[in-house]
Amino acid sequence: MKTYYDLTVWNKTINMAVAANDSPSMRPEWERHGAFPTYISGSCKTNKTQGMSGEILCSTLLSGLFLIISHTALAAPVVGDVSWEKHGNDHMTLVDITFSFTHSDNTECWVALWGHDEITRQHFPMNQFLEGDIKNRRFAPGTHTVTWIASLDGAGRTSDHFQVFARVSDEGRVAAGRYLVIDVSGGPSATSYPVFYLDNLIETPEAALNVAADHFVVTRDQCRTDYIVLRELPDGSYAGIYEVTQRQYQLVTGETPSDFSGNPMRPVENVSWNTITGSGNYTSGFIYLIRERTGLLGLGLPLGDAWVHACQAGATNDYNDYTLNNGLGAVYGGSSSDPVLNNLGWYTSNSGSRTHDAGGKQPNAWGLYETHGNIREWCINRHGGVNTGRMAKGGDWNHSASDCRSADAVYPPAENAMNTRGFRLFCDITPR
């Protein structure tokens, strides 16, 4: 969001320091001098997101006059109507998407688009457009139409309940990017795991697998067993679309520690922070093994702030339901059970006292599943920097709605393993 600095010339001479975020504090200063505005000299603008911080020092003297600098943060761009129309033929499904937005500064903005079925709550990533790569393109305020090649994204099955959502920002890219796919099907005896960077990943119910130049067609079960799939976030980092499952953990480590056994697509749990990271030395454990076999040294657990960024996916409220409050999500309602959370994750009110298959609930706007509930996810952070407690985020099947808020965190001992805690794989380096 841009910040404007309005320069007003007054009929007194004085030097003053103006705090960039505290322009109201100036009022008593100029009022004591009995100054009244004589004219507006103009305006200058700067983008705070490009490094401006601290204080702006103003000691400008203009012919016996002085400048009062005040600032106001402009409103963010506002998305208007979003509509869609399906057409095409037996071989290709096309969807024309028309969206509009306004911006008080008339600044060009980045746009993210994705689809949603309001009945099944299925999420439809939108990657392929006739116009090419739109996620890195900026649009002027107004009305635009782009054509989504739905069949290339595996979504030729839009229904009357299909919806399209848009998010707009003047600060940088807001759409998720490509996929990082790690093939762990070789199991714990493999010396290396193939790694793919792909523009498209299409999950299908059929048992089919194709790796093409930029397409990956895979069953959903394979994404929760033989392949670990991460999605590129707008900041260039990657986050797992699912929590690491029991089968994936077994294929990498050869171990099956989970209490809730019987279904390999449930998230792995009953693993301590020390076990995952080799007590933070990364000379043993899941993180060490997958780094060794992929060559990706950036694979690991996230910092808490990075986890929140991935969980919220552009939302700002407690729960990341992008269908609510213009994409800002929902605020925790104050009770142990929450109707919004019922659609997003498994917690004490709907879990049946157990974990569930990864990917059973509505994902966030970047296609990440169950960042609320199911199991708490270990992060890097140490509690207070002095003891052995390590951060775990997201809530779990055995806790209430308030514990599943994106801001909530606990700090259990790093050596403790419980059936409420597991992890999601992140990658914080530029892919090769």
If pLDDT is split at 50, 70 and 90, which confidence band does 18 have?
Answer: very low
Average pLDDT of the segment spanning 315-329: 94
Residue 267 above 50 pLDDT? Answer: yes
Stretch 270-297: mean pLDDT, rounded? 97
Q: What is the mean pLDDT of residues 8-30?
A: 34
Higher pLDDT, 113 or 155: 113
Residue range 28-32: average pLDDT? 33
Question: Is the pLDDT assigned to residue 240 strictly greater than 90?
Answer: yes
- pLDDT top residue among 382 and 19: 382
Beta-bridge mates of residue 62: 65
Among candidate residues 72, 67, 66, the one with its CA nearest the CA of residue 21: 72
For residue 45, name the pLDDT band (cuts at 50, 70, 90). Answer: very low
199 falls in which pLDDT band (50, 70, 90)?
confident
Check whether 1 has a pLDDT greater than 80: no
The per-residue pLDDT for 292 is: 98
Q: Which pLDDT belongs to residue 29?
A: 34
Tell me the pLDDT band of 89, cut-offs 50, 70 and 90: confident
268 and 286 Cβ atoms separated by less than 8 Å: no
Instruction: Give CA 250 to chain center in angstroms.
Output: 27
The answer to which of 52-66, 73-87, 142-156 has the lowest mean pLDDT is 52-66
Distances (CA, A) of 390 to 276, 301, 373: 12, 11, 18
Predicted local distance difference test score (pLDDT) of residue 59? 35
Instruction: Write down the pTM of the prediction.
Output: 0.81
- Give 75's pLDDT tier (boundaries 50, 70, 90): confident
* Confidence bin at 205 (pLDDT 50/70/90): low
170-187 average pLDDT score: 95
Q: Comparing 195 with 39, which gets the higher pLDDT?
A: 195
Q: At 158, is the pLDDT very low, low, confident or very high (cuts 50, 70, 90)?
A: low
- DSSP notation for 411-425: --BTT---TTEE---
Domains of the chain: 3-73 (no CATH), 78-169 (2.60.40), 176-432 (3.90.1580.10)
Q: What is the mean pLDDT of residues 358-367?
A: 96
Higher pLDDT, 16 or 102: 102
For position 35, what pLDDT does the model report?
34
Which one, of 321, 358, 337, 345, lies nearest residue 394 by Cα?
345
Estimate the crossing angle of helix 285-294 against helix 246-253, to 10 degrees. 70
Q: Is the pLDDT of residue 20 over 70?
A: no
Q: What's the pLDDT at 74?
A: 63
Tokens of residue 229, six digits: 């799939």
Question: Comparing 157 with 390, which gets the higher pLDDT?
Answer: 390
- pLDDT attached to residue 270: 98
Assess contact for 320 and 328: CB atoms under 8 A. Answer: no
pLDDT at 383: 81
Label residue 9 by pLDDT band (50, 70, 90): very low
Chain centre distance of CA 48: 22
Predicted local distance difference test score (pLDDT) of residue 92: 86
Buried b (16+ CB within 10 A) or exposed e, 292-329: ebbebeebbbbebebbbbbbbbbbebbbbbbbeeebbb
What pLDDT is attached to residue 218?
Answer: 77
Q: How far apart are the first and last CA of the chain?
A: 32
